[in-house]
Structure 1
Amino acid sequence: MKRPVGSITRGTTGHNRLRRADRWIAAVYARLLAAARRPLVVDLGYGASHVTTLELFTRLRRVRPDVEVTGIEIDPARVAAALPFQRPGLSFALGGFELPVERRPVLVRAFNVLRQYGEEEAWQAWALMRSRIDPAGAIVEGTCSEIGHRASWVALDASGPRTLTLSARFTGFGRPSDLAERLPKTLIHRNVPGEPIHALLRDLDRAWAAHAPYSAYGVRQRWLATVQTVAEKWPVAAHPPLGGRARWRQGELTIPWAAVSPSR
Structure 2
Amino acid sequence: MPVGSITRGTTNTNRLRRVDRWIAEQPALRHAADPFVVDLGFGASAVTTFELAARLIRSRPDVEVLGLEIDPARVRTAREQLDRTRAGDGHFPAGLPVTFGLGGFEVPTPDARRPAVIRAFNVLRQYDEAQVDEAWRRMSARLAPGGLVVEGTCDELGRVSSWVGVTAEGPRTFTISLRRSGLERPSIVAERLPKALIHRNVPGERIHELLATLDRAWRVHAPMSVYGGSQRWIAAVATLRHEGWPVIGGPRRSRLGELTLPWDAVAPV
Shorter-normalised TM range? over 0.9
2:90 is aligned to none
Q: Which blocks of at least 5 consecutive residues in structure 1 are unaligned? A: 238-242
2:173 is aligned to 163
2:47 is aligned to 51
| In structure 1, C-alpha distance between the alignment counterparts of 2:198 and 2:108, rounded to whole Å | 28
Within-5 A mapping of 1:20-31? 20-29=18-27
| In structure 2, C-alpha distance between the alignment counterparts of 1:147 and 1:200, rounded to whole Å | 24
CA contact (8 A) 2:23 2:29 kept: no
CA contact (8 A) 1:164 1:254 kept: yes
CA contact (8 A) 1:150 1:172 kept: no
Residue 225 of structure 1 deviates from its aligned partner by 1.1
| In structure 1, C-alpha distance between the alignment counterparts of 2:30 and 2:216, rounded to whole Å | 40
Return the letter of the residue paired with 1:5.
V
Between stretches 216-225 and 104-113, larger displacement belongs to 216-225
> Which residue of 199, 205, 220 maps to 1:210?
220
Q: Helix, strand or coil for the counterpart of 2:166?
A: strand
1:17 is aligned to 15
> Which residue of 100, 104, 119 maps to 1:92?
100
Residue 36 of structure 1 deviates from its aligned partner by 2.7
1:247 is aligned to 253
Between stretches 167-176 and 248-257, larger displacement belongs to 167-176
CA RMSD, Structure 1 to Structure 2 (Å):
1.3
CA contact (8 A) 1:152 1:184 kept: yes
| In structure 2, C-alpha distance between the alignment counterparts of 1:173 and 1:6, rounded to whole Å | 35
* CA displacement, residues 118-157 of structure 1 (integer Å, 9 cap, x when unaligned): 1110111011111111121101111000000000011111
| In structure 2, C-alpha distance between the alignment counterparts of 1:26 and 1:172, rounded to whole Å | 27
Aligned length: 254
Verify: 1:65 aligned to 2:46, yes or no: no
1:240 is aligned to none
CA contact (8 A) 2:24 2:30 kept: no
Residue 97 of structure 1 deviates from its aligned partner by 0.5
* CA displacement, residues 2-52 of structure 1 (integer Å, 9 cap, x when unaligned): x111111111111110001101110123xx334333321000000010100
Verify: 1:260 aligned to 2:260, yes or no: no
CA contact (8 A) 2:39 2:66 kept: yes
Return the letter of the residue paired with 1:55.
E
Return the letter of the residue paired with 1:262.
P
| In structure 2, C-alpha distance between the alignment counterparts of 1:142 and 1:173, rounded to whole Å | 20
Return the letter of the residue paired with 1:24.
W
Residue 172 of structure 1 deviates from its aligned partner by 5.5
Return the letter of the residue paired with 2:215.
D
Give the structure-2-normalised TM-score.
0.91
**% of aligned pairs identical?**
61
2:89 is aligned to none
* CA displacement, residues 193-240 of structure 1 (integer Å, 9 cap, x when unaligned): 000000000101111111122222222222111111111121111xxx
| In structure 2, C-alpha distance between the alignment counterparts of 1:171 and 1:214, rounded to whole Å | 13
| In structure 2, C-alpha distance between the alignment counterparts of 1:53 and 1:172, rounded to whole Å | 29
Give the structure-1-normalised TM-score.
0.93
CA contact (8 A) 2:120 2:152 kept: yes
Between stretches 228-237 and 190-199, larger displacement belongs to 228-237
Q: Helix, strand or coil for the counterpart of 2:125?
A: coil
